[in-house]
Amino acid sequence: MTYSQEVGKFMDSRDGKTYKTVQIGRQVWMAENLAYKTKLVCWTFGDRPENLKRYGYLYPWEAAKTACPDGWRLPSKSDFDSLFIIAKKTDIKIYEFLTRKENNGFSATFGGFREENGGFINKDYTGIYWSSTKGSQDTGWHLSIDKSSKNVDMQYIDYSSAYSVRCIRVD
């Protein structure tokens, strides 16, 4: 089975940065990690500016909730679940579906993350993306993609670390 895919671009009027976009099913996603510096704290991996272009910023929960530009939003757990469903319908393993670069798919990158203690880990091995869905009072759902094991899952984690953001267009 095939899925609807339309490739495009979006320019963030806040800073002029242009992002690749892709339509997957009925959803339109940014096909790159968000690289907008919010008024709230956010970091480049290792605090190295040269990591910004490829990996975007790593956002703590509060910053992630407000980082997407007008007309876009932080995806919910069910938005990510929709990607899983589409992948199953295409008979493509979810890891390949989310990481493939050809045809400008979701094109997940492995930007690692920033721990609560300030350490940066797993660049080029793990991609973790915030969702807007709360898990409990102190946790939120996120999509985790591991390059070594080729494992993809949704789980909830406390708000103390900083992860990547992919925005989804508001319907």
pLDDT at 14: 96
Triad 8, 140, 28: Cα angle to 5°? 15
pLDDT at 2: 44
Those residues with Cβ within 8 angstroms of residue 3's Cβ, 6 or more apart along the chain or in another chain: 24, 25, 86, 89, 90
Identify the bridge partners of residue 157 per DSSP, sorted by sequence position: 140
pLDDT at 41: 95
pLDDT at 54: 95
Tens place of pLDDT per residue across the chain (171 aa)? 344 456 789 999 999 999 999 998 899 999 999 999 999 999 999 999 999 999 999 999 999 999 999 999 999 999 999 999 988 888 788 999 999 876 558 899 999 999 999 999 999 999 999 999 998 888 899 999 999 999 999 999 889 999 999 999 998
Query: Residue 37 and residue 44: Cα distance in Å, rounded?
Result: 10
